[in-house]
Structure 1
């Protein structure tokens, strides 16, 4: 590992990115031979965000909608106690208070609490979840500070190419509020990884989007990512094996 990499909350430096309604403990167990972290969820914590999730289900999306989201988090994390990876939970909420409660559950299992400032579905944006947080830095800081106050390791999942949003400024703001991980969906703007890594060098930057092979891994590492994550192919061992090997070859993996 080179000196340019931030000390990380997980090794190896491959994460499984959350897939709503699919990423549970069983899914994480299946990827544990390859990854150092797995982000469960996303899961809606409060009634407005749960109502939005129900609306997504009505138009054929898959969502986790347990009767008690906090119990679900606790049960899923407990099921991963013997897994050789670090768990995280990606959460949505319309106020900081439920995020604090979820962070307490994560802290009890040494899991990462990931604030979802990423989802762009209209139903979620309408209630103030997902990428609407990127346009409201003060509100996003409140979410991060609330989770950090629970002594949880805090990640923020963001996406590039949101109008009016400077992700470098966002990175600096969430780092100041107590985040230690920034999970960046680069979309088609891979160089944004360099912007956030420069703006907040203390953050552990996880690059996401089209991570499939050595070429994509090397590109993100060259931009300053500390780790990469795999989304849709997280259930494909052949892809995970390629990415794991690429990290080894780049000497940023155990």
Structure 2
């Protein structure tokens, strides 16, 4: 595990919103914050511009590596460990971004998650789940550059076996598998155990999707997650504080199980 053996909380990347200022605002509650996603190469940047044209928020600086350096430098004294979620249609820029992350003791997170058609069309995001050889090449490039490496994935992609993906990225050297459970929370149980048995020792499994408070944290804990992350709730201090309290209870061994809880928490 990157952060040791205790459960922890991650603020997950939000395209066009997750920058150093956002991470600093989340810092009182989280152990990690992943800025980005950031498109690195020509094809991924063209896709990001197409997303902006249809009113999505994206980071599109003139120099993506300089942007990464600025964000991580701005977080140098923050009480958390930062990371950067990166998207690329080619492996070379991933290696460069990972080297920058290594220089800042930050996590390089490979985006195999985004499902926007513009990104999938150029081989980014979710399309990497359908091309495990290329995904593991990205992971190997990041780890060879010296970076602690996360892979952000999505459940429910037809034809994709996330347990096989977990095995492949772990073999390639990944430290984290950051899983958007997509309303299929029990998928975490399949991924977190080796052959349905003992917990994985080679990969930290971070559960994402509808994490809102004690019940949702307890559910993912019961399924065998090592940590949880929050996306949009990271912008809501009240919700983020509530989640952080639940993670502290998980860490202390005082978090109640799923049984007996009345309903999933919802954001105020």
The TM-score, its normalising length taken from structure 2, stands at: 0.90
Match of 1:20 in 2: 15
User: Are 2:175 and 1:196 equivalent residues in the alignment?
Assistant: no
CA deviations over 1:142-183 (Å, ceiling 9, x no partner): 000000000100000000000000000000000000101010
Q: Which runs of 5+ in 1 are unaligned?
A: 1-5
CA distance in 1, matches of 2:47, 2:222: 38
Match of 1:60 in 2: 55
User: Are 2:120 and 1:137 equivalent residues in the alignment?
Assistant: no
CA distance in 2, matches of 1:130, 1:252: 36
Match of 2:174 in 1: 179
Match of 1:81 in 2: 76
- How far residue 8 of structure 1 moved from its aligned partner, in angstroms, is 2.7
Match of 2:142 in 1: 147
- How far residue 7 of structure 1 moved from its aligned partner, in angstroms, is 6.5
CA distance in 2, matches of 1:68, 1:132: 25
- How far residue 9 of structure 1 moved from its aligned partner, in angstroms, is 5.6
Match of 1:123 in 2: 118
Query: Which structure has the larger Rg?
Result: 2
State whether residues 112 and 152 of structure 2, in contact with CA within 8 Å, keep that contact through their aligned partners in structure 1: yes
User: Are 2:209 and 1:212 equivalent residues in the alignment?
Assistant: no
CA distance in 1, matches of 2:157, 2:7: 30
State whether residues 36 and 85 of structure 1, in contact with CA within 8 Å, keep that contact through their aligned partners in structure 2: yes
Following superposition, which runs of at least 4 residues in structure 1 exceed 3 angstroms of deviation?
A: 9-12
State whether residues 13 and 252 of structure 1, in contact with CA within 8 Å, keep that contact through their aligned partners in structure 2: no
CA distance in 1, matches of 2:252, 2:185: 19
Structure scoring higher RCO (CA < 8 A, sep ≥ 6) equals 1
Match of 1:40 in 2: 35
Counterpart pick for 1:50 among 42, 45, 57: 45
- How far residue 197 of structure 1 moved from its aligned partner, in angstroms, is 1.0
State whether residues 213 and 242 of structure 1, in contact with CA within 8 Å, keep that contact through their aligned partners in structure 2: yes
- How far residue 250 of structure 1 moved from its aligned partner, in angstroms, is 1.7
- How far residue 105 of structure 1 moved from its aligned partner, in angstroms, is 0.2
CA distance in 2, matches of 1:161, 1:252: 32
Match of 1:69 in 2: 64
CA distance in 2, matches of 1:48, 1:7: 31
Q: Which runs of 5+ in 2 are unaligned?
A: 195-199, 254-268
Measured at CA, do residues 226 and 215 of structure 1 come closer, stay the same or move farther in structure 2, by a change above 3 Å?
same
User: Are 2:165 and 1:165 equivalent residues in the alignment?
Assistant: no
CA RMSD of aligned residues (A): 1.4
CA distance in 1, matches of 2:92, 2:252: 36
